[in-house]
């Protein structure tokens, strides 16, 4: 089953419930697609600096606030290698991953192997390269057991994304729907905006669940579907409005 242009929601099939396959193209995380707002202005100011203390910056904040998007944009603009810290392993530590040039590390607050991360930071410092690290927690609250890595991270400059303000939430909701090529009525969109928690992660989770459910059932996204699929997200005492 495919999504049809010019129709509200998904194409409707009479073949019964459909199996949803992950065939969507990933959203391009470019500078043009990033939604700027006062809540992310301090972060953008830090990222635009040509020099960071010791060449390192730690970006943290709640899920759904654009951290990975900003990391991707910075990496593109500074020809940086992107690594996922959760994939670090003892094997990679023994083999000593070596990166020449700037480095962007996602999920830096939960590295799979701390020695690997420490080696990468030491190499970058020696080479004069810059390192952008991203995580949900600040270094002071990250659970790091390796003393040298802990002290290195705590000495790193930090900046944080905040939860989106109302104008950004509205724009983000429309952007998330557009990214998935969903056509949802204005009344349903406004209802979702009013009844979902004021967090970026709630919007991301809600759109993902609604898209998957509508695709599997071959139906449009409606208030009834939202009430059924988002009982844990809808604001208290509002799911029946």
Q: What is the mean pLDDT of residues 142-157?
A: 93
Structure confidence by residue, pLDDT tens digits, 178-215: 888 888 999 999 999 899 988 888 888 999 999 999 99
- The per-residue pLDDT of the chain, averaged, comes to 83
Do 149 and 52 belong together in one domain? Answer: yes
Identify the CA nearest to 21 among candidates 205, 216, 202.
216
**Where is the domain boundary, 160, 184, 203?**
160
Do 44 and 110 belong together in one domain? Answer: yes
Whether the pTM exceeds 0.85: the reply is no
Whole-number Å distance between alpha carbons of 229 and 195: 13
Do 51 and 101 belong together in one domain? Answer: yes
Do 83 and 179 belong together in one domain? Answer: no
Burial class (CB in 10 A: 0-12, 13-18, 19+), 239: middle
* pLDDT recorded at residue 236: 65
**Where is the domain boundary, 117, 139, 160?**
160
Residue 140 within any structural domain of the chain = yes
Do 185 and 79 belong together in one domain? Answer: no
* pLDDT recorded at residue 83: 95
Domain CATH number, residue 151 = 3.40.50.300
Do 67 and 124 belong together in one domain? Answer: yes
Do 143 and 197 belong together in one domain? Answer: no
Do 181 and 89 belong together in one domain? Answer: no
**Where is the domain boundary, 111, 128, 160?**
160
Whole-number Å distance between alpha carbons of 105 and 72: 10
Decide if 8 contacts 225 (C-beta within 8 A): no
Both tokens of 78, joined, read 């500074």
Structure confidence by residue, pLDDT tens digits, 68-122: 999 999 999 999 999 999 999 876 555 567 888 999 999 999 999 999 999 999 9
Do 107 and 88 belong together in one domain? Answer: yes
Do 179 and 150 belong together in one domain? Answer: no
Judged by average pLDDT, the poorest of 89-103, 147-161, 221-235 is: 89-103
* pLDDT recorded at residue 92: 57
Decide if 184 contacts 177 (C-beta within 8 A): yes
Structural domain count of the chain:
2
Q: Is the pLDDT of residue 18 over 90?
A: no
* pLDDT recorded at residue 93: 54
For residue 135, what are the domain limits? 38-160
Q: Is the pLDDT of residue 175 over 90?
A: no
């Amino acid at each position: 089953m495919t999504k049809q242009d010019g129709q509200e929601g998904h194409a409707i099939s009479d073949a019964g419930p459909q199996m949803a396959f992950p065939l969507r193209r990933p959203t391009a995380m470019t500078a043009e697609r990033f939604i700027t707002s006062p809540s992310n202005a301090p972060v953008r100011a830090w990222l635009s600096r040509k020099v960071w203390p010791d060449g390192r910056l730690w970006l943290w904040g709640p899920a759904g606030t654009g951290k990975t998007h900003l990391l991707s944009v910075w990496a593109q603009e500074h020809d940086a290698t992107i690594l996922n810290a959760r994939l670090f392993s003892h094997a990679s530590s023994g083999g000593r991953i070596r990166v020449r040039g700037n480095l962007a590390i996602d999920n830096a607050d939960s590295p799979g192997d701390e020695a690997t991360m420490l080696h990468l930071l030491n190499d970058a410092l020696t080479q004069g390269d810059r390192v952008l690290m991203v995580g949900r927690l600040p270094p002071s609250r990250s659970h790091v057991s390796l003393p040298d890595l802990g002290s290195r991270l705590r000495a790193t400059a930090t900046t944080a994304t905040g939860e989106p303000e109302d104008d950004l939430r509205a724009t983000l909701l429309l952007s998330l729907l557009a990214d998935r090529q969903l056509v949802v009525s204005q009344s349903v969109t406004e209802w979702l905006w009013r009844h979902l928690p004021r967090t970026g992660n709630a919007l991301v989770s809600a759109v993902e669940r609604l898209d998957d459910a509508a695709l599997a059932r071959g139906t449009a996204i409606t208030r009834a579907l939202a009430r059924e699929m988002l009982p844990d997200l809808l604001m208290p005492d509002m799911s029946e409005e």
